Structure 1
């Protein structure tokens, strides 16, 4: 993946939420571009949060989830805590250990909705 873009109507709330949750998993704070969008760069991928280009209100994807790789189980827990503290909403699960249906390996996961309602996940996969 090269980049991903999510819409937000309140960029100050988005910045507080994403700066905090990304710090918990080792991603630097946002830099704003000339259009005021928030850009997060990590390992060659750009994650962008901004006002929708069409000028309509931001909406979240029904059935969509954006997953972020955490460096450890502790990172998953820190991401979740930072998100709740900075305007996120609990949705599909607190940090917990599960068995991945795709690989059969263990995985730590947690789910939140950002201030705009986008569903997010932080995950750490057990090594082979």
Structure 2
């Protein structure tokens, strides 16, 4: 259903450092960088058929995370959930909500972690045991 997700960054180099570390846990490599006609830099991380992008705002206004939005990254194991969380926090992210771990609910068991990136975007790591 989804082709890509793009978020804004107020400091593209700080975001690149953060997401290189965090998405590296999931197996993503270095992003492709693109500078558009008006000078904004965009980074494109491609992995397993998905693209996650970071962009300097093209309207010149400050970055504001969307209230109520969450970006979820699929993880392979409970251990990868913990690693994703720990790497995010070690690289400038902020841990939010409950500690990483198993959650039981109406959608079945899930391992989850939640953190914000340096710009305040809410990120989730999710693993559904098979």
Equivalent position of 1:32 in the other structure = 33
TM-score, structure 2 length as denominator?
A: 0.90
Matched, 1:107 2:120: no
Alpha-carbon separation, structure 2, partners of 1:20 and 1:101: 33
Matched, 1:71 2:81: no
Question: Residue 80 of structure 1 is aligned with which of 82, 85, 95?
Answer: 85
Query: 8 Å contact 1:80–1:94 — kept in the other structure?
Result: no
Give the CA deviation at 1:12.
1.2
Equivalent position of 2:16 in the other structure = 15
Alpha-carbon separation, structure 2, partners of 1:39 and 1:5: 9
Q: Which runs of 5+ in 2 are unaligned?
A: none
Q: Which runs of 5+ in 1 are unaligned?
A: none
Alpha-carbon separation, structure 2, partners of 1:52 and 1:100: 37
RMSD of aligned residue pairs (Cα, Å):
1.2
Alpha-carbon separation, structure 1, partners of 2:30 and 2:22: 10
Give the CA deviation at 1:70.
0.7
Question: Residue 93 of structure 1 is aligned with which of 65, 82, 98?
Answer: 98
Give the CA deviation at 1:89.
0.6
Secondary structure class of the residue paired with 1:46 = strand
Equivalent position of 1:120 in the other structure = 123
Secondary structure class of the residue paired with 1:33 = strand
Q: How many equivalent residue pairs? A: 125
Would you identify which runs of 4 or more consecutive aligned residues in structure 1 move more than 3 Å? none
Give the CA deviation at 1:126.
0.7
TM-score, structure 1 length as denominator?
A: 0.92
Give the CA deviation at 1:30.
1.7
Give the CA deviation at 1:100.
4.0
